[in-house]
Amino acid sequence: MPTTTHSHIPCNRDEIGVVACPDCSEPMKLTCTSPGLEGYDLMTFDCGKCERSKTFVVHQLTKAGS
Ligand SMILES: [Zn+2]
Please count the structural domains in the chain: 1
65 occurs within a structural domain: no
**Ligand 1 centroid – CA 40 distance (Å):** 26
54 occurs within a structural domain: yes
**Ligand 1 centroid – CA 58 distance (Å):** 22
**Ligand 1 centroid – CA 47 distance (Å):** 5
Strands of the chain (E only): list them.
4-11, 19-20, 27-35, 40-47, 53-59
Question: Which domain range does residue 8 map to?
Answer: 4-58
- Domain with 32 in it: what CATH number? 2.20.25
21 occurs within a structural domain: yes
47 occurs within a structural domain: yes
Over residues 28-50, the mean pLDDT reads 91
48 occurs within a structural domain: yes
64 occurs within a structural domain: no
If pLDDT is split at 50, 70 and 90, which confidence band does 59 have? confident
Q: What's the confidence (pLDDT) of residue 38?
A: 87
Whose CA is closest to 43, among 65, 21, 11, 20?
Answer: 11
What are the two backbone dihedrals, phi and then psi, of residue 62, each rounded to the nearest 5 degrees? -80, 130
Over residues 41-63, the mean pLDDT reads 88
Tell me the pTM: 0.67
Whether residue 64 has pLDDT greater than 60 = no
- pLDDT, greater one: 15 or 51: 51
**Ligand 1 centroid – CA 62 distance (Å):** 32
